[in-house]
Amino acid sequence: MKRLEEQHQKEIKEQQIQIDNRIKAEVDLYKVDMDAMAEQNRELKDKMEELNQDMKKKSHEIRRMKVLFLVGLICIVLF
C-alpha cells in the first residue's frame, strides 16, 4: 500500500512538473507575441507620424498654389 502511495505521489509530482513546464512555455510565447505587437505598434505609430508630416506638406503646397493662383488672377484682372 505504501508503495502505491509513493508511486501516486511520484506521478502527481511529474504531472505538476509537466503542467509547470507547459505554463512556462505558454507564458514565453505570450511574451514573444506581446513584444511583436509592441514592435508593430511602434512601427505603425512611426508610419502614421510620417504620413501626418506628408499631409501637412501637401496641405501647405495646396495653400501656396491657391495663393499664387489668386495673385495671378488679380494681376490679370487689374492689368
Looking at the predicted structure, is the pLDDT value of residue 77 above 90?
A: no
Q: Which three cell numbers stand for residue 2?
A: 505504501
The full DSSP string for 20-46 is HHHHHHHHHHHHHHHHHHHHHHHHHHH
pLDDT at residue 30, as a whole number = 97
Q: What is the pLDDT of residues 21-57, one digit of tens each?
A: 999 999 999 999 999 999 999 999 999 999 999 999 9
Amino acid at 76: I
For 3, the domain range is 1-79
pLDDT at 7: 92
Average predicted confidence (pLDDT) for the chain? 95
Domain count, the chain: 1
pTM here? Answer: 0.60
Question: How far is the C-alpha of 7 from the C-alpha of 12, rounded, in Å?
Answer: 9
Going by pLDDT thresholds of 50, 70 and 90, the confidence category of residue 3 is: confident
